[in-house]
Amino acid sequence: MSKVALYEHGEGKTTLRLNKFYKTDYSSRNFLSSLPLGIITGLLILALVFVADTEWFIRSYETIGGTMSTVLLVAAFVLFVIAYCFFSLYMFNHKYDNYRGNLRSYGLNLRRLKRVYEEEEQQAAENTGTRQ
């Protein structure tokens, strides 16, 4: 009984809410909420690279050409966002699988607790029946 109570008040607060979702729904919802963060992170990385080595950007604009340099920057940004999306989907799927494993053990503990209560009720019924 204490395992169940500890789980419900600790880690179970998060995982019991997960029980409402299918895996694809959980992953999609969290992916869509993390996508803007991936875009902002990509923009910040581009800004930091630009600030760290501004001369490299200027030289690339002169040697490659302005249009080609812009296309390469946009391609790098898009590739980063796509990689971020795949990583976040993998991470959320993995997290869901771990939580489901925890919920299985929680269910087993609940079934054990139910059996203990049923046995106690039977013993109490037998004790009251023998006294009469």
Render each residue's pLDDT in the chain as its tens digit; 132 residues.
565 555 555 555 566 566 667 767 777 788 888 889 889 998 998 888 888 887 877 787 778 777 887 888 889 899 999 999 889 989 888 888 877 776 777 677 778 777 877 888 888 888 776 655
Q: Which amino acid is at 72?
A: L
131 inside domain: no
Q: Which amino acid is at 64?
A: I
132 inside domain: no
How far is residue 94 CA from its own chain's centroid? 7
Cα separation, 73 vs 65, whole angstroms: 12
* Domain, as residue range, for 122: 2-126
pTM above 0.75, yes or no: no
98 inside domain: yes
Cα separation, 94 vs 75, whole angstroms: 28
- Dihedral sign for Cα 87, 89, 90, 94, please: positive
73 inside domain: yes
Q: Provide the CB-side half-sphere exposure for 67 (13 A, CA).
A: 0
Residues listed for the chain: 132
Number of domains in the chain: 1
Cα separation, 23 vs 95, whole angstroms: 10
